[in-house]
Amino acid sequence: MEHEGQFCMTKGPIGRELLQLTLPVLLSQLLQQFYNIADASVIGQAAGAVGLAAVGSAGLLLSVMVNFFIGLSTGVSVVAAQMFGAGQFGRLKACIHTAIAAALAFGVVFQAAGLAGTDRFLLWLGTPRDAAEPCRQYLKICFWGMIPQLVYNMGTAILRALGNTRSPLYYLTFCSVMNIGLDCLLVAVCHLDVRGAAAATLLSQILSAVLVSGKLMRLSPAFRLRLSCVRPHGTHLKALAAVGIPAGMQAVFMSISSLVIQNSINSFGTAAMAGMTVFSKVEGFLYFPLFSLGIAVTSFVGQNAGAGQFERIRSGMRMSVWVGLGLWLVFAAVLLAAEPLILEMFTTDRAVLQNAETAIRYLFPFYCLYAVNQVCIGVLRGMGHTFSPMAVTVLCYCAFRIAWCGLLLPLWHDMRVIYLSYILSWVIMILLLAFCCRRYLAGAGA
């Protein structure tokens, strides 16, 4: 059982606190990426380029629903962290039960919508004929995992708000190993192709939800989860919605942008689709470490905002920017050096490999911009300002990228148009987010 002050981040050396919070999240994200690599490798070797393309395209569709809830749970994490930092444990208990009730309700809605709309979604995406049926099979199975997946994400968000990033790491390790084992059994041995991959994912999601729920029920008696008390509390539901919905919509807009861009990628054929699927798996080794830093910053800032420690927030932001740039430099250098070896783990198809190589060499050198963006988003969210990151995301990820590709691809049908849309959107985003952070922190110190 955790003592209430064990994970408090409002006192002590900032660097140590950030490191203690970030490292388990970073390891969790890297472990998740190793799992993604192994999953895609098994599918690519057993089901070929069509299987890779199907899973990649279906994964983007699933991410629209899941990422909304991950964003929503980030908002919940902000509210819970502020309550914990302020020592308001009675309100925190009601917040936790409201959050789990929301996870169950959204899970039911998302599962029903996904199962009913699969064929229409694939038609809207313009999925090539040879990949359409594998996509449909994969999605039909994965949508049954919506409820446990949302419960898991909400539970880990609550644990992070309390400063506990280790338990999610342990659970993810166990479930990822199980998932990879099931992948090898169902895909490589039983030859179930994408259906086996989807079934392995579903079973691991159920187990992860059970483990996280059990942890929440073993927290301090002041705010532990009790299944009999899971219900929405009106006041807290309103507070969670005010912070969480903008964060959730930010994730939705990012996913919608990816889906629209995926439609453009699909116009280049199956090799380009599979190549970008491979790229996304390798990209995760850059994306997830920087994303994990943003998660840690959100929890750190949330607790300190609840305690009124705004100078501590400013110092933490400056330190986090340097940490983010360091992470980018190390991971980008390693990935670029090991690129040929990593890519050949997925497929031997030369056209697929060429598409993945080109994307890596264009985008990885500019990921330093994304690092700073994640720190700024973490600061804004931790202070409870989730609308600004959402608005910036809509402008940069959605409006700019979609307009750029829509205008230029008919004139210059080249994948480099898509790569440039990413780079330029990061530049615009960093300018806007930095302005928002400076404005809100100046107001907080007044």
Kindly state whether residue 385 falls inside one of the protein's structural domains: yes
Contact 60, 258 (CB under 8 A): yes
pLDDT digits 0-9 by tens, 204-245: 889 999 999 999 999 888 889 998 888 887 777 777 777 778
Torsion sign across C-alpha atoms 85, 172, 229, 252: positive
Kindly state whether residue 426 falls inside one of the protein's structural domains: yes
pLDDT band at 2 (very low <50, low <70, confident <90, very high): very low
pLDDT digits 0-9 by tens, 234-262: 777 777 777 778 877 777 777 777 777 77
213 closest CA partner among 96, 86, 388, 90: 96
User: What would the 3-class secondary structure string for 16-75 be?
Assistant: HHHHHHHHHHHHHHHHHHHHHHHHHHHHHHHHHHHHHHHHHHHHHHHHHHHHHHHHHHHH
pLDDT band at 45 (very low <50, low <70, confident <90, very high): low
Structure tokens at 121: 């979604």
pLDDT > 90: what percent of the chain? Answer: 16
Q: What mean pLDDT is predicted for residues 385-406? A: 88
Give the CA distances from residue 206 to residues 55, 85, 225, in Å, rounded to whole numbers and listed in that order.
20, 31, 18
Structure tokens at 341: 């070896």
- Residue-number span of the structural domain to which 125 is assigned: 14-441
| pTM, full prediction | 0.70
pLDDT digits 0-9 by tens, 87-145: 888 888 988 999 899 889 988 998 898 888 877 777 776 666 766 777 777 778 888 98
pLDDT at 209 (0 to 100): 92
pLDDT digits 0-9 by tens, 374-393: 999 989 988 888 888 889 98
State yes or no: pLDDT of 423 exceeds 90: yes
pLDDT band at 325 (very low <50, low <70, confident <90, very high): very high
Distance CA 81, CA 302 (A): 5
**Which region among 7-16, 212-221, 405-414 has the lowest average model confidence (pLDDT)?**
7-16
pLDDT at 366 (0 to 100): 93
Residue with tokens 């959605």: 398
State yes or no: pLDDT of 415 exceeds 80: yes
Instruction: Pick the more confident residue, 39 or 370.
Output: 370
Q: Is 219 exposed, middle or buried (0-12, 13-18, 19+ CB in 10 A)?
A: buried
Distance CA 147, CA 371 (A): 31
Cα Dmax for the chain: 65
pLDDT at 58 (0 to 100): 63
Torsion sign across C-alpha atoms 278, 280, 284, 290: positive
pLDDT band at 274 (very low <50, low <70, confident <90, very high): confident
pLDDT at 5 (0 to 100): 36
State yes or no: pLDDT of 427 exceeds 50: yes
Q: How many CB atoms lie within 10 A of CB 86?
A: 16
Would you give the distance in Å from CA 48 to the centre of its chain?
26
Kindly state whether residue 208 falls inside one of the protein's structural domains: yes
pLDDT band at 10 (very low <50, low <70, confident <90, very high): low
pLDDT digits 0-9 by tens, 148-191: 989 998 998 898 888 787 888 888 888 888 888 887 888 777 87
Q: How many CB atoms lie within 10 A of CB 170?
A: 13
Kindly state whether residue 4 falls inside one of the protein's structural domains: no
Instruction: Pick the more confident residue, 119 or 367.
Output: 367
Kindly state whether residue 7 falls inside one of the protein's structural domains: no
**Which region among 9-13, 244-248, 312-316, 424-428 has the lowest average model confidence (pLDDT)?**
9-13
pLDDT at 6 (0 to 100): 44
Angle at 428 between CA 322 and CA 388, to 5 degrees: 85
Contact 82, 305 (CB under 8 A): yes
pLDDT at 117 (0 to 100): 80
Report how far apart the first and last C-alpha atoms of the chain are (Å, whole number). Answer: 39
Residue with tokens 């910053």: 297
Distance CA 166, CA 295 (A): 14
Q: Name the average pLDDT for the chain.
A: 81
Kindly state whether residue 187 falls inside one of the protein's structural domains: yes
429 closest CA partner among 257, 313, 263: 257
Contact 243, 75 (CB under 8 A): yes
Give the count of domains, the chain: 1
Contact 371, 327 (CB under 8 A): yes
pLDDT at 55 (0 to 100): 63
pLDDT digits 0-9 by tens, 336-356: 888 888 887 777 778 888 888
Rounded to the nearest 5°, which phi and psi values hold at 126? 70, 35
Reported for 109-112, long-range contacts at CB under 8 A and 24+ positions apart, including other chains, are 110/65, 110/69, 110/143, 110/146, 110/150, 111/143, 111/144, 111/146, 111/147
Kindly state whether residue 274 falls inside one of the protein's structural domains: yes
Q: How many CB atoms lie within 10 A of CB 444?
A: 14
Contact 233, 173 (CB under 8 A): no
pLDDT at 444 (0 to 100): 65
Q: What is the DSSP letter of 144?
A: G
Kindly state whether residue 98 falls inside one of the protein's structural domains: yes
pLDDT at 4 (0 to 100): 39
